[in-house]
Structure 1
Amino acid sequence: MNADAPNPELDPYYSLIDELLQCPSGSEPEVLSRHPDLLNPQLVQIMLQVAAMMAHHNQQESSQFLVFIARKLAENLRQAADA
């Protein structure tokens, strides 16, 4: 997935998304907790872009998974900002 990244600065985000897609079900919070520096609105945006691309390529399950994680992350970021 990193080879598709137009900007090398985004590579860590694509690597994290790839890690999330490959991790065992239920271990997503652990994966995310290892990358606190990447948990930001930019990750949410990139996840949604990757999800749209996956949906376009008939990878519905992975697409829906990323949308779910992106929404949860966005919700958590909003709550943290409001605190």
Structure 2
Amino acid sequence: QTICSGATFTWNGTDYTTNQTGTRFPGADGCTADQVLNLTVTPKPVDIVTNQTICSGATFTWNGTDYTTNQTGTRFPG
């Protein structure tokens, strides 16, 4: 399993937020498969920055919204 930094992965009732490798032995009867966890935490991707210049009276559309004045904003997609 791979998660992003800051996310949580729940495995067998325990929450993990860091790289983990572990094995759970659910039964010693020889018929029940062992459960193995390989959890990798990846860094958050870098921000995508859009810089745009428009003339007065023009419109710029960003993520479905029209802008006509000076704007600075952040969109959190996830």
Give the TM-score of the pair, scaled to structure 1: 0.22
More helix by share: 1
More strand by share: 2
Q: Highest CA radius of gyration, 1 or 2? A: 2
Give the TM-score of the pair, scaled to structure 2: 0.23
